[in-house]
């Protein structure tokens, strides 16, 4: 079960005293007369040709994933942030047809990697506030296709369910 708690009063605090830093230069400073007063002139020889360099691979860019589906008369929006393999915050928002947040009871979230048979993560969460359920963690561990399913009960709904499929880079 996931929950969100605020810190309590009287929590321990840490004080770090500044440490003086001394720097010794490995060379003697130049005298003022040794500093040139004019810009250097370009040399007559051509600049060397650039060479190919292999750069290290960069992490995938962050892109939030947002999808919306209907569940009866409710609209359910899924938001996955940052929307790439690894740690993500997964939010579900529940609205009525007029766009008003709807209070739902506990929400069961099931997360399944579709590219390889590897089991399903199941979390049951209580909404943080009316209309918003939230989990965070390393649920989307690999790039590929994922299914995120939410089952919930709400006003006038018995066992409503929505299923989203997202592709994570």
58-76 pLDDT, tens digit each: 444 557 899 999 988 889 9
What integer pLDDT is reported at residue 44 of this predicted model?
56
Q: Tell me whether residue 95 is in a domain.
A: yes
**In Å, what is the CA distance from 57 to each residue of 61, 87, 146, 155?**
12, 19, 24, 49
* Structure confidence by residue, pLDDT tens digits, 24-58: 444 444 444 444 445 445 555 555 554 444 444 44
Proportion of the chain above pLDDT 70, given as a percent: 62
Question: d(Cα 35, Cα 131) in Å, to the nearest integer?
Answer: 67
* pTM of the predicted model as reported, rounded to 2 decimal places: 0.62
Domain count, the chain: 1
Proportion of the chain above pLDDT 90, given as a percent: 44
Q: Tell me whether residue 20 is in a domain.
A: no
Q: Is the pLDDT of residue 147 over 80?
A: yes
What integer pLDDT is reported at residue 118 of this predicted model?
86
Long-range Cβ contacts of 121-128 (<8 Å, 24+ apart): 123/1, 123/2, 124/1, 125/1, 125/2, 125/3, 126/1, 126/3, 127/103, 128/4
Q: Tell me whether residue 36 is in a domain.
A: no
Residue whose C-alpha is closest to residue 80's, from 125, 147, 17, 11: 147
Q: Tell me whether residue 54 is in a domain.
A: no
- Pure H helices in 27-102: none
Q: Which residue has the higher pLDDT, 43 or 151?
A: 151
Q: Which residue has the higher pLDDT, 140 or 50?
A: 140
Q: Tell me whether residue 77 is in a domain.
A: yes
Report the chain's mean pLDDT, rounded to a whole number.
Answer: 75
Cα angle: 81, vertex 84, 89; to 5 degrees: 30
Q: Tell me whether residue 55 is in a domain.
A: no
Q: Tell me whether residue 6 is in a domain.
A: no
- Residue 140 sits in a domain whose CATH number is 2.60.40.1930
Question: d(Cα 161, Cα 169) in Å, to the nearest integer?
Answer: 26
Question: d(Cα 118, Cα 11) in Å, to the nearest integer?
Answer: 41
Residue whose C-alpha is closest to residue 121's, from 93, 142, 105, 99: 142
Q: Tell me whether residue 85 is in a domain.
A: yes
Domain coverage including residue 151: 65-168
């Amino acid at each position: 079960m996931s929950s969100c708690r605020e810190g309590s009063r009287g929590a321990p605090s840490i004080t770090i005293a500044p440490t003086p830093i001394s720097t010794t230069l490995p060379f003697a400073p130049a005298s003022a007369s040794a500093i040139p007063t004019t810009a250097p002139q370009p040399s007559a020889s051509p600049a060397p040709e650039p060479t190919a360099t292999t750069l290290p691979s960069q992490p995938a860019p962050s892109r939030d994933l947002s999808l919306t589906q209907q569940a009866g008369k409710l609209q359910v929006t899924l938001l996955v942030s940052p929307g790439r393999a690894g740690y993500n915050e997964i939010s579900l928002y529940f609205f009525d047809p007029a766009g008003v947040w709807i209070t739902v009871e506990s929400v069961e979230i099931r997360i399944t990697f579709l590219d390889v048979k590897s089991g399903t993560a199941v979390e049951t969460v209580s909404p943080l506030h009316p209309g918003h359920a939230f989990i965070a963690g390393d649920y989307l561990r690999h790039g590929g296709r994922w299914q995120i399913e939410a089952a919930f009960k709400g006003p006038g709904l018995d066992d409503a369910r929505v299923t989203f499929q997202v592709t994570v880079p």
